[in-house]
Structures are given as C-alpha cells and as structure tokens.
Amino acid sequence: MTTSSQTPGPMPPEIPAAVPSRTTYDDPWQGSDVPHALRSPFPEPRIEGPTCVMCEAPAGVGDAALRPDPRGRRYPSGAQVLYCTPCLPPAPLVQTAAGVIAAAIEHGASTPAEIAQAEADAGIIYDPQRVEEIAAAAAEQAHAEDQAEIAERGRQLARMAGDHRKINAVARLLEARRADTFLPAVDVARAIEWGTTALDAFPMTLTWRPEDGVDIPGPGDTGRRAIVPCRSSYGQLAHLVVEGDDRTKLATLVDAEFRDVCAPCPTDGCGEAETPGASYPLPDGWARLEIAGVDGGLRAYCSPTCVGDAFARAADELSADDRAAAIDPDQQDPEYLDASGHDDVARCVRCGCTEDAACEGGCAWVLNAEQVDLCSACATPAELAANGWQAVTEVPAGEER
C-alpha cells in the first residue's frame, strides 16, 4: 500500500434528514361560542335537516318526533342535539334517582318509605325548607362579604384622610415662609405625626403697602380678577386674589368705612376731561359723564365705581356751595376750606372764627335754618331772635332806665 492509496476521495453528498409526516386534524369547535359543558360528544349529522343523533331518523310523528337533549348539549354550529323517543336518554335527575333506588333495593330497602328516605338522604327530593335555608345562608354570606368590603374601604379612606391632613399640616407650616427659612425638625415631625402645627390657632397676617398698588384687570382683559400683592410676617410675597363678583362684594365692605372718593383711579385716562368738540370711541364698559353745576365738562370713567365716585365728589362740592350761598356768598371765607369744601375744625362761615379763636369781644354759636357753623357776631338780628337772643340798649352812666 502506497501513501497515495491512503488518501481519501471526495465525500459523498449529504442526504437530507427525513421529516416525519404530521397528521393534522380539523377542530370542529374552533371559533365556536358554545360553552364547553354544553358541547356534544357526537359529530354533527351529515344529513340535512333535523335528525336523531343516535339513529339518524328524520323528524316525524309519534315515536319519530324529535326532542332536545335533556342536558341541553349542542353541535359546533350551535344547533341543538336531538333524539327520537326510543333513543332519548333519561334526564340526569331521573338517572340519579334510578341509581339511588337501585342502591337502596340492593341494600334491602323494600318499602316505599325506605326508598323515599334513600332519595331524601341523596338530596334528590325537593325540600322547600332546605331551599329557603340555603338561600338565606347564601344571602347572609353575601351580606357579610359586603360588610367586610365596606369596612375595608372605610379603613382605606381613613388612612387617606390622615395622610391628607398631615400633608396639609406640613403645607401650613411652610406657607408664606421664605425658601431659606430654618424650621426645627420637631415642628415638622409634629405636623407629620399629629397633623397639626403650633400656628393653627392663629390666622396668617398679610400686610399691604400702598406703594405696592393693586393689579386690576384692564378694559380688554378677559380674566376679571384683582391681585393685591401682600407680604407675610416672614417677608414672603403673598397674593390676595379676588375674582369675579367677589371684587364688588369686597369693595362694598371696605367702602363702608374706608373708601376715599377723592382718590384717583389707577386706570389710565379715567376721570380725565375730554377736549371740547372732540369725539372718539371709548373702550367697552367705559362711560362719559358730565354733571351739571360742576366745572370740568365731559369726562370718561372706566367703571360704575368711578362714576359713583364722581357723583359723590360732585355732591360734596355742590352741597358746600349751597350751604355757603344760603348764608351770603360775599361773606364766605374760602381760606379755611379745602377743594371739596370740608374742614375738620368748626369755623364760622362768615368770619372764620373757631372755638379756640373767637371774635373780638367774644361770640357764641348760633343755630340757623341752613345748619352751618355761624357765630353770634355774624348772625343777623332775625337769626339771633330765632335763637331767643334779646337786643340790649346801652344806658349812659348816671341815667336810670
């Protein structure tokens, strides 16, 4: 044997592995909606029309009449399983009763009472009282389960309410404080544990400064709310926001004590006198107003509140003019009156004397029909007589009256 004779030749071609054949079966129940417990163990008949599942006898009369399966079973198509009278199987209850009777006879039962007792022991005899007891027990069990579920929901809600109260307590503790404020750990722990803080009994104090102003909505703003910038006791900025009709309600409450009708409106152009003869459209909600008897002509106002203030200012001005004119316009002393006709010190409208600076020789206040401050030195004889004053005639010395 030479070396060349030991060299192998080319390898034979590979034979593919044999794949075993697989038998497939069509599942007649695939896609069927029939419950598994009601599926028929018999295939659907090949004969068209209703037939007996056992003998394939077509529907007829008498013994050939077809009746549905006592168990309610159906074919994959949903059609009922039918039996003719000879092939109809006994109902499950009948089968059970037959089995119980056979067993009772096998164990020596010979009388109807013994057979009936065997059926009762097997539970196949209808007992109304037992049915009622079963229904009552089921209802009681369902009620107990519902009560347990309600109790569990109550415990869950209680835990959620407790957590919410703790979160609110921490929020109240942090409210209106600066970001760099130091808080003792015991205060935070108390808020988390008890849901309360040491400040719960005290209201938050917000301070407003006139120079901060009030951000009120303009004529074109869609959001009708006023923002009052305030400061907390810790120096943190806090906004008091009043929206919608609440602005009017708050203004009414504040106006009863503190409203200043002479304060200028912060809205640009509100209360300014218009140029005579000029006409231009006003923004929505504005009004033009001219009050007879008051100088200034036609003016534009941005809101009903500003219109009301204008009427109040005019009423004060006209009232002061009327009171002064009722006495004697030529004897008024306007030096002591401000622009609105008001003065905090009672002064005679004719000479300007006061309680602390009376007329030379002395004087007293005199009641008058105009209800103005008038002294006796300036009052007319008729005004003095109306107050019960009597004129005194001076008598020369040494002469008797």
CA distance 333 to 309: 27
Q: Are residues 243 and 290 in the same domain?
A: no
pLDDT at position 93: 66
pTM of the model: 0.28
Range with lowest mean pLDDT among 206-220, 242-256, 293-307, 334-348? 334-348
pLDDT in tens, 233-263: 767 788 888 888 887 777 777 665 556 777 7
pLDDT at position 196: 76
pLDDT at 197 over 80: no
Measured from the Cβ of residue 152, the count of other Cβ atoms closer than 10 Å reads 10
Angle at 118 between CA 112 and CA 120, to 5 degrees: 100
CA distance 10 to 22: 36
Q: How many structural domains compose the chain?
A: 3
Please give the residue range of the domain that contains residue 224.
Answer: 206-259
At residue 288, φ and ψ (nearest 5 deg) are -100, 140
Residue 273 located in a structural domain: yes
DSSP strand pairing (287-289 vs 237-243)? unpaired
CA distance 139 to 37: 27
CA distance 79 to 221: 72
Q: Are residues 251 and 267 in the same domain?
A: no
Residue that is last in its domain, among 224, 243, 259: 259
pLDDT at 35 over 60: yes
Residue 18 located in a structural domain: no
In 259-372, which residue ranges form alpha helices assigned H by DSSP? Answer: 304-327
What is the average pLDDT score of the chain?
Answer: 76
Dihedral in degrees, nearest 10, Cα atoms 261, 263, 266, 267: 40
* pLDDT, average across residues 258-269: 75
* Residue spans of beta strands (DSSP E) within 173-243: 206-207, 225-232, 237-243
DSSP strand pairing (82-84 vs 66-68)? antiparallel
pLDDT band (50, 70, 90) for residue 325: low
pLDDT at position 386: 81
pLDDT in tens, 85-105: 788 777 676 667 777 777 777
Q: Are residues 350 and 321 in the same domain?
A: no
How is the beta sheet containing 237-243 ordered, strand by strand? 206-207, 225-232, 237-243
Contact between residue 360 and residue 376 where contact means Cβ atoms under 8 Å apart: no
The DSSP 8-state label assigned to residue 273 in this structure reads B
pLDDT at position 123: 67
CA distance 114 to 104: 8
Percentage of residues in the chain having pLDDT higher than 70: 74
Higher pLDDT, 145 or 394: 145
pLDDT at 76 over 70: yes
* pLDDT, average across residues 48-53: 83
CA distance 124 to 264: 98
Quote the radius of gyration of the chain (alpha carbons, Å).
55
Residue 398 located in a structural domain: no
Calculate helix-pair angle for 92-106, 112-122, nearest 10 degrees.
Answer: 130
Q: Are residues 353 and 370 in the same domain?
A: yes
Q: Are residues 265 and 312 in the same domain?
A: yes
Residue 231 located in a structural domain: yes
pLDDT band (50, 70, 90) for residue 24: low
Q: Are residues 268 and 323 in the same domain?
A: yes
Residue 49 located in a structural domain: no
At residue 138, φ and ψ (nearest 5 deg) are -65, -40
Q: What one-letter code names the amino acid at 323?
A: R
CA distance 99 to 123: 13
* pLDDT, average across residues 292-296: 67
pLDDT at 339 over 60: no
Report how far apart the first and last C-alpha atoms of the chain are (Å, whole number): 193
Q: What one-letter code names the amino acid at 367?
A: L
Q: 3-state class of 313 per DSSP? A: helix
* pLDDT, average across residues 36-64: 79
pLDDT band (50, 70, 90) for residue 28: confident
Q: Are residues 265 and 323 in the same domain?
A: yes
Residue 228 located in a structural domain: yes
Residue 378 located in a structural domain: yes
CA distance 59 to 282: 94
Residue 91 located in a structural domain: no
CA distance 359 to 391: 19
Q: Are residues 320 and 267 in the same domain?
A: yes
CA distance 141 to 137: 6
- Residue 395: partners with Cβ closer than 8 Å, 6 or more residues away: 401
- What tokens appear for 256 in the block? 């009863």
pLDDT at 11 over 80: no
- Residue 101: partners with Cβ closer than 8 Å, 6 or more residues away: 115, 118, 119
pLDDT at 344 over 80: no
Q: Are residues 240 and 273 in the same domain?
A: no
Angle at 315 between CA 313 and CA 316, to 5 degrees: 65
pLDDT at 148 over 90: yes
Contact between residue 51 and residue 90 where contact means Cβ atoms under 8 Å apart: no
